[in-house]
A and B are shown apart, each in its own frame.
Chain A
Amino acid sequence: MNTQKIHWFKFSSPQNFYFLAGRMWPWFAVLATVLAAVALWIGLVMAPVDAQQGQGYRIIFVHVPAASLSMFVYLVMAGWAGFGLAFNTRLSGMMASALAPTGAILAFLSLATGSLWGKPMWGTWWVWDARLTSSLILLFLYLGFIALQSSIDDPRRADKASAVLALVGAVNIPIIYGSVYWWNTLHQGASVTVKGASIAPAMLWGMGLMTAAFWMYAITMTLVRVRAIILDRERHAEWVKHAVE
């Protein structure tokens, strides 16, 4: 065993990364649980009642982290996809396809919590607000990526094709967001804004910690999922037989 230095490229091989991910994910899972528990306690117990929205605003502690992370995960996914196209590494494509379901779930969660929040606050489940609409489109982009990936049988080709799609999507996201904002101001002028009064420090802490918890959750799920993908793709390899015994 080489003891001088860590060879980072060592982990670009799916086999080595499988074991590294196996050692890493329990830590991230523990962090996610602890952070989420603390954030929930702050959010549900410590944070004061909002002056305008009463108790109902507390869904913000799930809504904002989900919404922000759903956008970020797409960028990370596109980054892995571009890396895979440029350097022709196998693991990159697997990472991109491992991230996609988590991103889609987060996008869906942000829409679902948003509409649950909208009903008591705005009196409606859904408005064609620019922010809501662009989250919906983001969900569509995730679904397109997953659909393309799952309809191509050859995994290498599936990785590359969906990588092109992810990059095209990443280039388009700013354009789509910009046009949706333009469209909304044109249609209904000033629309509902989520900003209430000034935010209490406890609310800020709750949101920050919950965002960190969501990050840890996303990393955990991606590592677990990429392990499953590696096993599935390398199932004919000798080491897999030993690994799952």
Chain B
Amino acid sequence: MKKLGLFGVMAALLRREVSVALRQKGEVLTPLVFFVVVASLFPLGVGPESALLLRMAPGVLWVSALLAAMLSLQRLFATDHADGSLEQMALSSTPLGLLVAAKALTHFLLSGLPLVLMAPVLGLQFGLESRSLGILMLTLLLGTPTLSLIGSIGAALTLGVRGAGVLLSLLILPLYIPVLIFGAGAVEADAAGLGIGGHLSLLAALFVLSVFFAPLATKTALRISLE
């Protein structure tokens, strides 16, 4: 058998995750549709005044993206846990933290990235200008990887637990608050004529912190779940 380096293992894992996900297209598309539906409900709820919608747009789009990204988190480890491949991964010589990071990366590629690409379309419906749309995409691009990483902790903790879906949201949503504040805040700050350098730096800092700590916590949580 060919011996793979760390990056080889990671690339193989990424390939596997992406091909599994692409064979079940519903898993990729459902959160995306959910994102569109939730964002479309807000104008119906608060009324069609364009000034109000414009004011709310960054927050609404960010909250909807947050919920959509969370929706697909449950399946992050669940199917691999069910068919036993997760245990094989945990037993393999490759560090579990690396495997977890690869999992989070695929979660971002398959559920975060589509949200980033879909957001400007919804932003247009709320009347955001092209400059704001660009910033919205940028903050989502910086923020959704953090969501995937933090979310992986929750997914590992709730693995095989009763009522995992609702529990996951209770555990993870409070931890998403900083990302939400800086993500939606950047778009608003720019619209108000303020600089957004601070927001973007803090989003990047949150990303770096979660790259370092989240795989560690997820790894520990997975080992506990697999005991």
Chain A interface (Cβ < 8 Å from any Cβ of B): 85, 137, 140-141, 143-144, 147-148, 151-152, 157, 160-161, 164-165, 167-169, 171-172, 175-176, 178-180, 182-183, 186
Residue B158, interface by CB 8 Å = yes
Residue B121, interface by CB 8 Å = no
A12→B177 CA distance, assembly (Å): 37
Known: A85-B220, A148-B167. 11 other contacts (CB 8 A): A137-B177, A144-B171, A147-B170, A151-B158, A164-B153, A165-B153, A165-B157, A165-B171, A175-B178, A176-B175, A179-B178
A171→B209 CA distance, assembly (Å): 11
A168→B210 CA distance, assembly (Å): 11
DSSP class of A's interface residues: helix, strand, loop or mixed? helix
Residue B174, interface by CB 8 Å = yes
Question: Distance (Å) between the CB of A181 and the closest chain B CB?
Answer: 10
Chain A residues closer than 8 Å to B175, beta-carbon distance: 168-169, 172, 176
Question: Distance (Å) between the CB of A70 and the closest chain B CB?
Answer: 15
Residue of A nearest to B182 (CB): A179
Chain A residues closer than 8 Å to B224, beta-carbon distance: 157, 160-161, 164
CB of A182 within 8 A of CB of B181, answer yes
Q: How many cross-chain pairs have Cβ atoms below 8 Å apart between A and B?
A: 75
Residue B56, interface by CB 8 Å = no
Chain B residues closer than 8 Å to A141, beta-carbon distance: 174
A161→B168 CA distance, assembly (Å): 13
DSSP class of B's interface residues: helix, strand, loop or mixed? helix
Question: Distance (Å) between the CB of B193 and the closest chain A CB?
Answer: 13
A180→B175 CA distance, assembly (Å): 12
- Known A-B contacts A161-B225, A164-B221, A186-B185; A144 and B174 likewise in contact (beta carbons under 8 Å): yes
Contact partner of A152 (CB less than 8 A), chosen from B161, B170, B181, is B161
Question: Distance (Å) between the CB of A152 and the closest chain B CB?
Answer: 6
Chain B interface (Cβ < 8 Å from any Cβ of A): 153, 157-158, 161-163, 167, 170-171, 173-175, 177-178, 181-182, 185, 188-189, 202, 206, 209, 213, 217, 220-221, 224-225, 227
A143→B163 CA distance, assembly (Å): 15
CB of A161 within 8 A of CB of B221, answer yes
Residue of A nearest to B177 (CB): A176
A175→B206 CA distance, assembly (Å): 9
A233→B189 CA distance, assembly (Å): 53
A120→B162 CA distance, assembly (Å): 44
Chain A residues closer than 8 Å to B161, beta-carbon distance: 148, 151-152
A176→B175 CA distance, assembly (Å): 7
A85→B217 CA distance, assembly (Å): 12
A188→B206 CA distance, assembly (Å): 24
A186→B225 CA distance, assembly (Å): 41
Chain A residues closer than 8 Å to B181, beta-carbon distance: 179-180, 182-183
CB of B174 within 8 A of CB of A176, answer yes
Chain A residues closer than 8 Å to B209, beta-carbon distance: 175
CB of A186 within 8 A of CB of B167, answer no
A109→B196 CA distance, assembly (Å): 37
Question: Distance (Å) between the CB of B208 and the closest chain A CB?
Answer: 12
- Known A-B contacts A180-B177, A183-B181; A151 and B171 likewise in contact (beta carbons under 8 Å): no
A183→B161 CA distance, assembly (Å): 35
Q: List 14 A-B contacts (CB under 8 A).
A: A140-B170, A141-B174, A148-B158, A157-B224, A157-B225, A161-B157, A164-B217, A164-B224, A165-B171, A172-B175, A176-B175, A176-B177, A180-B177, A180-B181
CB of A168 within 8 A of CB of B167, answer no
Question: Distance (Å) between the CB of A168 and the closest chain B CB?
Answer: 5
A140→B177 CA distance, assembly (Å): 12
CB of A147 within 8 A of CB of B167, answer yes
- Known A-B contacts A144-B171, A161-B157, A182-B181; A151 and B220 likewise in contact (beta carbons under 8 Å): no
